[in-house]
A = this chain, B = another copy of it.
């Protein structure tokens, strides 16, 4: 029907849908770096298999492209909507569990989340890090230990958490009044640490971005149960990023980020107003937690 017969046109190999994947893989198989080649080719295989498997329609592909575009427009400054998606689709916790296996007895790691700020202000042993945040007072203390039970001195313990509205300083008034509920502490010679702050509460993941669309349309709930964040760095030990979850929080069995792991759900004792064990006089009923973190040695 068309008179122009271009030489070689019949040898173009990716005519049928079946051959396209093959051709795309063949092209990327030329990638020099073996690790990049392995990863890119695995991405292509899974991307194409996914589309074939669900018989993705054209309008669904268009929807996916718009969804990723929308997620992209929410990537500003420190906010990475794709990390939020990774958290929500369970990829982050898969990565944490797979890349940081722990022997029995060690504290399990969990995700770092989007609200960590490097180099928080240092506070002295036993002081109050809440810096004006509102909520029920809480005393947290314990030790940093090695697997063999030996104390770890001079560990840098970064703590950060929400207030009783479920807000973090970085979501609220960080510029004017922050940081609050955010501190670096040091363990003493016997591995002990202690601080006062306020009880965190459960909070919903931000739903203004592409995540919101996901939550509204699946029945995947968007809550995180109440937790304190910890990042612990100590000489000779593997760094540990984890949470401690309040055992009386809602949503423990439906954390949007799948971060709840055995040993990280802890009871905060209920204490009446009065003089606390460390001598501080608390005028309202408060909570108290004793928790020992167990680190693994670095280098195996």
Hey, which chain B residues are within 8 Å of A27, CB to CB? 220, 254, 258
Indicate if A236 sits at the interface (CB-CB under 8 A).
no
Q: Which of A60-68, A193-201, A274-282 contacts B (4 or more CB under 8 A)?
A: A60-68
Indicate if A298 sits at the interface (CB-CB under 8 A).
no
Give the contacts of A50-107 with B (CB-CB under 8 A): 50-58, 60-61, 65-66, 68-69, 71-75, 80-83, 86, 89-95, 97-101, 105
How far does the Cβ of A91 sit from chain B's closest Cβ, in whole Å? 5
Indicate if A32 sits at the interface (CB-CB under 8 A).
yes
The docked-state distance in angstroms from the alpha carbon of A286 to that of B294 is: 78
Known: A69-B80, A98-B52. A30 touches B220 (CB 8 A): yes
With beta carbons under 8 angstroms apart, the residue of B7, B14, B48, B83 that contacts A247 is B7
Indicate if A171 sits at the interface (CB-CB under 8 A).
no
Indicate if A28 sits at the interface (CB-CB under 8 A).
yes
A93 touches B12 (CB 8 A): no
The docked-state distance in angstroms from the alpha carbon of A55 to that of B42 is: 11
With beta carbons under 8 angstroms apart, the residue of B7, B69, B98 that contacts A82 is B69
The docked-state distance in angstroms from the alpha carbon of A5 to that of B260 is: 15
Indicate if A2 sits at the interface (CB-CB under 8 A).
yes
Hey, which chain B residues are within 8 Å of A5, CB to CB? 267
The docked-state distance in angstroms from the alpha carbon of A23 to that of B51 is: 23
Indicate if A265 sits at the interface (CB-CB under 8 A).
yes
How far does the Cβ of A44 sit from chain B's closest Cβ, in whole Å? 5
The docked-state distance in angstroms from the alpha carbon of A145 to that of B2 is: 12
Hey, which chain B residues are within 8 Å of A36, CB to CB? 217-218
Hey, which chain B residues are within 8 Å of A4, CB to CB? 247, 266-269, 289-291
A265 touches B48 (CB 8 A): no
Hey, which chain B residues are within 8 Å of A20, CB to CB? 90, 93-94, 97, 258
A294 touches B1 (CB 8 A): yes
The docked-state distance in angstroms from the alpha carbon of A73 to that of B86 is: 18
Known: A1-B105, A17-B98, A265-B9. A86 touches B65 (CB 8 A): yes
Closest 7 CB pairs of A and B: A72-B72, A24-B90, A6-B247, A4-B267, A72-B75, A68-B82, A17-B97
Known A15-B97, A52-B94, A65-B86; further 6 A-B contacts with Cβ < 8 A: A8-B252, A20-B93, A36-B218, A44-B89, A46-B46, A72-B75
Give 10 pairs: A residue, B residue, CB < 8 Å, sorted on A.
Answer: A4-B267, A4-B268, A4-B289, A7-B247, A9-B262, A44-B89, A47-B89, A65-B83, A65-B86, A68-B82
